């Protein structure tokens, strides 16, 4: 009897699926690491420069308080109030000489973030002469550049929430300002979770802003 001719047989379906699954997994891991890399790098580069506002801080020209949401009735969001209160505490401790209130002067509330921030600080006992408003602080990058170029602050303590403070500190340092970052007590709320998640794409944008030399 003639020998049966050898016939090439295809790979079993299961090994093919396993190979495809490994490639998909590898691609997901690479994309995840790529997305997280700017955030991780910023955290690593600033971890010695940031800390709770109650910690030891070197004297600086100003507290740079970053804006946040103001409700239509003029009520500050919890994040905004905490940021301003942190800057006020630094001023009262004598750690800073003045406070720069930096935010959107034409925000959705129609009142202007810096104006509301000033009102809070004055209500907490800061003299009006120790407060300056930056209504062109439309984002963190702009606030940092304006602190130096508009208000001449060579050293600042940037005050914002913990999830945001590393990026804010890094951006101010890239803008040429000697910067420390200070944050209020961490509070677990929905905004905190969202803020932490938002920092991943925000960190990538921060790198793009710095590398492109974007002007505010």
pLDDT higher for 216 or 206? 206
Distance CA 49, CA 155 (A): 13
Q: What is the pLDDT of residue 36?
A: 78
What pLDDT does 89 receive?
98
| 144, 98 Cβ separation under 8 angstroms | no
Residue 140, C-beta contacts closer than 8 angstroms, at least 6 positions apart: 66, 164, 167, 168, 171, 206
Q: What is the largest CA-CA distance in the chain?
A: 108
**Helices (H) then strands (E): counts for the chain:** 6, 6
Which of the pair, 196 or 15, is modelled with greater confidence? Answer: 196
Whether the per-residue pLDDT at 29 is higher than 90: the answer is no
189: pLDDT strictly greater than 80: yes
Q: Has residue 150 got a pLDDT over 60?
A: yes
pTM across the whole model = 0.83
Query: Does position 20 have pLDDT exceeding 80, yes or no?
Result: no
pLDDT at 1: 45
Tell me the pLDDT tens digit for each residue of 161-172.
999 999 999 999
In this predicted structure, what is the pLDDT of residue 97? 98
How far is the CA of 115 from the CAs of 24, 66, 103, 142, in angstroms? 51, 13, 9, 18
The CATH number that domain 46-212 falls under is 3.40.50.620
Average pLDDT, stretch 21-37?
A: 60
More confident residue, 187 or 179: 179
CB half-sphere exposure, 216, CA atoms < 13 A: 23
pLDDT at 32 over 70: no
Q: What is the DSSP letter of 18?
A: H
């Amino acid at each position: 009897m003639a020998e049966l001719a050898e016939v090439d047989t295809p790979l079993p379906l299961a090994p093919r699926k396993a190979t495809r699954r490994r490639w998909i997994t590898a691609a997901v891991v690479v994309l995840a690491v790529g997305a997280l890399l700017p955030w991780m790098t910023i955290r690593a580069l600033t971890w010695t420069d940031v800390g709770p506002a109650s910690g030891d801080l070197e004297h600086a020209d100003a507290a740079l308080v970053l804006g946040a949401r103001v409700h239509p009735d003029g009520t500050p969001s919890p994040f905004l109030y905490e940021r301003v209160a942190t800057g006020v505490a630094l001023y009262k401790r004598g750690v800073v000489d003045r406070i720069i209130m930096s935010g959107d002067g034409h925000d959705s509330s129609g009142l202007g973030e810096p104006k509301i921030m000033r009102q809070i600080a004055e209500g907490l006992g800061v003299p009006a002469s120790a407060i300056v408003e930056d209504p062109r602080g439309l984002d963190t990058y702009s606030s940092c550049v304006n602190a130096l170029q508009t208000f001449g602050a060579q050293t600042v303590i940037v005050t914002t929430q913990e999830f945001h403070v590393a990026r804010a500190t890094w951006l101010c340092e890239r803008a040429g300002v000697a910067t420390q970052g200070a944050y209020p007590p961490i509070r677990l709320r929905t905004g905190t979770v969202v803020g932490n998640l938002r920092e991943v794409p925000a960190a990538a944008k921060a790198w793009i802003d710095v590398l492109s030399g974007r002007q505010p």
